[in-house]
């Protein structure tokens, strides 16, 4: 295999990616990597300042788009706006999310529903709209940001676990239903990734940090780019025969002891 063919396998030139929660954290990491691979990236979020800063960091191939995935009826307009900014959306990354850490017995119905509204209902509404257009074009890649909570029991996050576990079923069903139309659907399950959010979660809790590292065979935290390059692969021609999978990027945490 020559270098040109190798490079083209991971080349996203001419592709447009719509990334929810794209202004910070893992969303920004994925957006940066997809842009580096040649894609135009439309970053969706609720805060204009975050999105503008993120797009300036990425460069000319990044476009900010203020939107709220919990407002389900706005999904068609959101995709319309993204396509006006950067062309037909060929890659969708459902990354927007909220977290709730509470004992299950203290988790109210409204709190449980709010987590599902963002992760499940919001992601599905956008996926349905973008997927319809991808089916018409006979091509597309859809990714969901799943979690370690999709594959293992983690206490105090029952709503989050329910939402992230739902992604696994959605991915498998849509991969089966849309595969004949050229649309691939996959998920990434990040492990513990170095970020401001993780720093905050572990601040003043050395025992928790030690527990996480002790059950991670690689004995370290990941970087946002670890998730980003996985997203590039799953969105690229290199993964043209990959659909319906959940890819842990976790330093071995899901199988560690």
Active site residues: 160
Cα separation, 49 vs 64, whole angstroms? 9
Dihedral pair phi/psi, residue 97, rounded to 5°: -165, 165
Token pair 């950067």 is at which residue? 86
Within 10 angstroms of residue 132's Cβ, the number of other Cβ atoms is 13
CB 83 within 8 Å of CB 16:
yes
Strand, coil or helix: 74? helix
User: Residue 127: CB partners within 8 Å, gap ≥ 6?
Assistant: 92, 94, 142, 170, 174
252: left (phi over 0), alpha (psi -120 to 50) or beta: left
Q: Let me know if 208 is exposed, middle or buried by CB neighbors in 10 A (0-12, 13-18, 19+).
A: exposed
> φ and ψ at 190, to 5 degrees?
-70, 145
Cross-strand bridge partners of residue 17: 41, 91
Query: Does residue 38 sit in helix, strand or coil?
Result: coil
């Amino acid at each position: 295999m020559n270098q040109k063919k190798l490079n083209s396998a991971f080349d996203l030139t001419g592709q447009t990616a719509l990334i929810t929660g794209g202004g910070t954290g893992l969303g920004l990491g994925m957006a940066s990597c997809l842009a580096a691979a040649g894609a135009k990236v439309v970053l969706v979020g609720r805060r204009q300042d975050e999105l503008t800063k993120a797009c300036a960091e990425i460069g000319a191939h990044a476009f900010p788009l203020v939107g709220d995935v919990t407002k389900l009826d706005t999904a068609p307009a959101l995709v319309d706006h993204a396509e006006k900014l950067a062309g037909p959306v060929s890659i969708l990354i459902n990354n927007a999310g909220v977290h709730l850490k509470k004992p299950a017995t203290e988790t109210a119905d409204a709190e449980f529903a709010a987590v599902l509204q963002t992760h499940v209902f919001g992601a599905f509404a956008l996926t349905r709209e973008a997927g319809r257009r991808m089916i018409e074009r006979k091509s597309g890649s859809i990714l969901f940001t799943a979690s370690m909570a999709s594959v293992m029991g983690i206490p105090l996050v029952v709503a989050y676990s329910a939402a992230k576990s739902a992604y696994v079923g959605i991915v498998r069903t849509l991969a089966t239903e849309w595969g004949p139309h050229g649309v691939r659907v996959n998920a990434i399950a990040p492990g513990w990734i170095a970020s401001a959010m993780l720093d905050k979660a572990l601040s003043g809790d050395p025992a928790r940090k030690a527990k996480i590292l002790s059950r991670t065979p690689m004995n370290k935290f990941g970087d946002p780019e670890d998730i980003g390059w996985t997203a590039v692969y799953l969105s690229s021609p290199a993964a043209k025969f990959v659909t319906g999978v959940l890819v842990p990027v976790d330093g071995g945490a899901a199988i560690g002891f």
